[in-house]
Amino acid sequence: MYFAALLARTEDGWEASDTELDDVETLSDLTDLAREASVDEDTVLVFIEQEDAWFGVIRVDGEEDPRIYISDASSAARSSYGEILLTDELLGREPEAEDSIAALEELVGLDGTEDGEPDHTTDNQTDHDDNDDDGLDADAVPTGPLGDTGILSDLGLAEKELLMLRTDALVEIADALGAAEVLETVR
């Protein structure tokens, strides 16, 4: 079960609205949705929560790039909405680098041998191309918090407090921002 809401900051405080994520397929779509809810390019927060598994906060300030915080990246990775937030940049990966390399290898037919040469791999040899020497999986998503831990610091919720949140996190965040009543109306 998911819950998603937008909190838009206005001159009079925060305005909340629940939001449907059915048409959101990318972070860009989500950012556009937040910008549409913005009043005078002010701060908009998007909250996404999957019961007690994980929560995410996306902050959009005008035309700046969105800032993202995810409470548990490995749980979010198993969620369609979480996958939207887990960008290559957030995970510290080259954007689609593996896809580009695989496409180039396929295009030129690289299999480790020259054209016309036999494959000299014996039964006792193993192919190590699929494994990194350091034993780490390049596609692994870290367990625990990921992203901008200072995302709400200037709004009243310190990094340390954000990192300690587990259950009812969105309620506690809204309370720290002075928007608990507003969020409750859409919950």
Alpha-carbon distance of 92 to 29, in angstroms, equals: 21
pLDDT beneath 70: ranges in the chain: 95-139
Burial class (CB in 10 A: 0-12, 13-18, 19+), 135: exposed
What per-residue confidence (pLDDT) applies to 105?
54
Contact 70, 23 (CB under 8 A): no
Contact 19, 46 (CB under 8 A): yes
In terms of pTM, does the model score above 0.85? no
What per-residue confidence (pLDDT) applies to 128?
45
What per-residue confidence (pLDDT) applies to 51?
83
What per-residue confidence (pLDDT) applies to 119?
52
What per-residue confidence (pLDDT) applies to 86?
93
Q: Give me the sign of the Cα torsion angle 36, 37, 39, 40.
A: negative
Q: Give the model confidence (pLDDT) of 31-56 as tens digits.
A: 999 999 887 889 999 999 998 799 99
β partners of residue 147: 69
